[in-house]
Amino acid sequence: MPKRECLTCRHLHDGPGSRCPTCTTTRERARLRPTTTQRGYGAAWQRLSAQVIAWFGRCVDCGHQGSEDNPLTADHIVPKSRGGTDAWDNLIALCRNCNSTKGTSLPEPHPDPQNSHTGMG
């Protein structure tokens, strides 16, 4: 079976594409990675979130003060998708851990049987 020359690194490979598997993966990853601008968070938000994080100084949920693998992030109390604004009274600081577990619409993956009271709002 004839090998093909990768268009990127020129190494011979026998994969189906015109690039070797390594270069294909690298290109896919670069393409799929969303930029902050694409997600609707531009330079203004970057600046604002930095101010919010500095003002709170810690996660309002667990009190974590931010670390390299769990940095603080600014978050909307009312999500912008539900009409929330960038006003200061709608912004809090959460560590990334709390922010990612908060989830606005995802179902609970592990319902806790010990905490099964049904609140109607």
- Candidates 53, 91, 93, 95; binder of Zn ion (CB under 5 A) is 95
User: By C-beta, is 26 or 90 nearer to Zn ion?
Assistant: 26
- Please, which of residues 7-36 interact with Zn ion by CB under 5 A? 8-9, 20, 23
- Environment class of residue 22 by beta-carbon count within 10 Å: exposed (0-12), middle (13-18) or buried (19+)? middle
Question: From the CB of 15, what's the least distance to Zn ion, in Å?
Answer: 9
**Which of these ranges, 42-50, 58-66, 76-84, 103-111, lies near Zn ion under the rule CB under 5 A?**
58-66
Spell out a b/e string for 53-89, using b for 16 or more CB atoms within 10 Å of the CB, else e: beebeebebeebebeeebebbbbbeeeeeeeeeeeee
**Which of these ranges, 27-35, 49-57, 62-70, 103-111, lies near Zn ion under the rule CB under 5 A?**
62-70
How many residues belong to the site for Zn ion (CB under 5 A)?
A: 11
